[in-house]
Amino acid sequence: MCEGGSVPARPGLCGAGVSAPLLTGGERPYVNLDYAASTPALCRVASAVERMLPYYSSVHRGAGFKSQVSTAAYEAARKRLLSFFGAREGDVAVFTRNTTDSMNLLASALPPGSSVLTFCSEHHADLLPWRREGLRAVCLPIPESPEAAISALSAELERGQPVDLVAVTGASNVTGELWPLHELVDVAHRFGVRVLVDAAQIAPHLPINLARLDADYLAASGHKMYAPYGAGILIGRPDWLARREPYLRGGGAVDFVTRDSVQWSELPARQEAGSPNVLGAVAMAVAAAELDRYGMDRVWAEESALGAEVRSGLQAIPGVRVYAIWPGAKERTGVVSFNLEGQEHSLVAAALSAEYGIGVRHGCFCAHPLMLHLLSVPEQGAEEIRTRLAQGDHSAVPGAVRASLGLGTTRPEVEYFLSAVAELAARGPRLDYEVDPRTGDFVPTLQPTWALERARELVSAGETAG
Ligand SMILES: Cc1ncc(COP(=O)(O)O)c(C=O)c1O
């Protein structure tokens, strides 16, 4: 099982050998530094899905052999994920589409009139689901340190305003700091308040044990944990999810329906209306097993060390500004955001792709309040951005470049990336770029159609193969 003696082999990733064409000529191995957005599938996940396909069939209500196999695989996947995340006895796991869906599901299940507290640094997926009719969303200012986060939460809860849920990320998706989850859970529980951990940015990067952490809910996405087959998960206490009407209404969530009445099912079926994503669930479970096989402690040690190298390497390049919510923080995932003095973030990202074959992300990373804070945009500036956006001008939105690491990242890739950034910082891009008026992004003036052609080929592969 463990290739190479007692140390398990690093899990293989689909697409590891893909080359990227360079606009400067030729091609080179693609360097993926965008794991925080979406991860490639693990090879074992892809082959497990392929092995499952001949058995794919309806779940729960089918009587045939294949339905029995599919149902058992779906339920085994649920169990595997409960165990991977260290859930408590009695916790429920509901399969969703992704973290955003999990958050919205929980928002729909909160007791009416609930108050939800977040920090303004959260991803939009953890800011917006609570801003809805019937709930009160409170957004605490971005704290200056982990200690300040703990005391701000404590001070807010001491004010005596009713709060039902604290929703907090495990790690910043922009700057990588780990949030002091244990302490935040302790504070919240002292006041009888539940905690939801947005685990999108930690599930594939560090060990999580819900029972030890004592958080009440956890949300995660398959496509961020090497299982991009459309499933996500919400794990946690069943009572709220069992009490309210289902988030989605339809078949699978009901025991009996008459012309004017409905008998909703028990959990988890109650919150999984419609035909479930069996392959997505199986993919997530296999990814969890493979991550466990390699060892989450090892994943964390390797990625956080490489992340620190990226951060310090960038900081050493003249003209590079690296962002941090808590500049001195020691514990960070491999997520680093930065800008080059005098160069637009989208220009830097376009040049890294076109001239170096490096894939990064740029913009505001679905965390607008945090980015405005990191970029020191005043309230007035935010107003101007809003006005210009309303006029269709997307170039007004500020942002940064984000490099994010994962299981496939190697030291040579990190070194290559740092040398590419150093070249760009020293002399700018070699090619000409222009702004695409629809998006406000820079694109090479001689925009090649490679990506489009490859996509067409892939989409029509089925037709031609047939
Ligand atoms: C911290 C965090 N939370 C939530 C999400 C939303 O995840 P998804 O798009 O898979 O729903 C993301 C996505 O980037 C994220 O980084």
The arithmetic mean of pLDDT across residues 135-160, rounded, is: 98
Q: Return the residue whose CA atom lies nearest to atom 15 of ligand 1.
A: 200
Q: Which of 34, 38, 100 to mutate to test the pocket of ligand 1 (most atoms within 8 A of CB)?
A: 100
Task: Give the mutation target among 202, 223, 224 for probing the ligand 1 site: most ligand atoms within 8 A of CB.
Answer: 224
Instruction: Round to whole Å and give the CA distance between 39 and 28.
Output: 20
Whether the pLDDT of residue 25 is over 80: the answer is: yes
pLDDT score for 460: 83
Ligand 1 pocket test, pick from 99, 333, 402 with the greatest ligand atom count within 8 Å of Cβ, gives 99
Cβ neighbours, 10 Å, residue 110? 22
* Per-residue pLDDT tens digits for 398-452: 999 999 999 999 999 999 999 999 999 999 999 999 998 778 899 998 877 888 8
Average pLDDT over residues 179-192: 98
452 contact partners, CB below 8 Å, separation of at least 6: none
For the residues of 290-327, what is the DSSP string, one character each? HHHHH-HHHHHHHHHHHHHHHHHHHHTSTTEEE--SST
Q: Encode pLDDT of 215-263 as tens digits.
A: 999 999 999 999 999 999 999 999 999 999 999 999 999 999 999 999 9
Q: State the average pLDDT for the chain.
A: 94
Give me the phi and psi of 314, to 5 degrees please.
-65, -40
Using DSSP's 3-state secondary structure scheme, residue 336 falls into strand
Which residues are near ligand 1 (CB < 6 Å)?
37, 98-100, 123, 125-126, 169, 173, 198, 200-201, 221, 223-224, 366
List CB contacts of 8: < 8 A, sequence separation 6 or more: 1, 2, 293, 294, 295, 298
Q: Which of 4-18, 201-215, 426-440 is the least confident region?
A: 4-18
- The pLDDT of residue 61 is 77
How large is the average pLDDT for residues 163-178? 98
In 3D space, the residue among 390, 409, 401, 441 whose CA is nearest the CA of residue 425 turns out to be: 401
| Angle between helices 43-52 and 278-294 in degrees, nearest 10 | 140
Lowest mean pLDDT among 6-15, 38-47, 293-302: 6-15
Mean pLDDT, residues 95-123: 98
> If you measure from the C-alpha of residue 465 to the centroid of ligand 1, how many angstroms do you get, rounded to a whole number?
35
The amino acid that residue 228 corresponds to is P
Q: How many CB atoms lie within 10 A of CB 380?
A: 7
Report the catalytic residues.
366
Ligand 1 atom showing the smallest separation from residue 171 Cα: 1
- Region 358-373 average pLDDT: 97
Distance from the alpha carbon of residue 363 to the mean position of ligand 1, in angstroms: 15
Q: How far is the CA of 199 from the centre of ligand 1 (A)?
A: 8
For atom 7 of ligand 1, the residue with the nearest CA is 99
pLDDT above 80: residue 3: no
| Mean pLDDT value of segment 48-75 | 94
For residue 464, what pLDDT is reported?
A: 53
Q: For residue 224, give the ligand 1 atom closest to its CA.
A: 10
Task: Check: CB of residue 205 under 8 Å from CB of residue 300.
Answer: yes
Report how far ligand 1's centroid is from the alpha carbon of 393 (Å). 26
Ligand 1 centroid–CA 200 distance in Å is 5
pLDDT at residue 390, rounded to an integer: 86
Q: Determine the average pLDDT of the residues in 280-303.
A: 98
| Atom number, ligand 1, closest to the C-alpha of residue 125 | 4
Name, in order, each residue with C-beta under 8 angstroms of 59's C-beta and a sequence gap of 6 or more.
67, 70, 71, 74, 275, 276, 278
Give the helix, strand, coil percentages of the chain, each rounded to 5: 40, 20, 40
392 pLDDT band, cuts 50/70/90, is confident
Residues 190-196, mean pLDDT to the nearest whole number: 98
Amino acid letter at 285? A
Ligand 1 centroid distance, CA of 157 (Å): 27
Token pair listed for 350: 């376009």
Delineate the domains of the chain, giving CATH numbers in brackets: 19-36+296-459 (3.90.1150.10), 46-293 (3.40.640.10)
Mean pLDDT of 180-185: 98
Average pLDDT value for residue range 302-316:
98
Residue 441: which H helix or E strand, with range? Answer: none
- The two structure tokens encoding residue 226: 């090497």
Neighbours of 288 (CB within 10 A): 27
Looking at the predicted structure, is the pLDDT value of residue 2 above 70? no
Residue 359, pLDDT above cutoff 90: yes
165-169 and 194-198 as β-strands: parallel, antiparallel, unpaired? parallel
Ligand 1 atom 16 nearest Cα: 173
Q: Which of 123, 229, 335, 362 to mutate to test the pocket of ligand 1 (most atoms within 8 A of CB)?
A: 123
Higher pLDDT residue, 465 or 182? 182
Task: Tell me how far apart the alpha carbons of residues 101 and 274 are, in angstroms, rounded to a whole number.
Answer: 14
Residues β-bridged to residue 264: 254
pLDDT, residue 466, reads 46
Tell how far the Cα of 123 is from the centroid of ligand 1, in angstroms.
7
Give the model's pLDDT for residue 340: 98
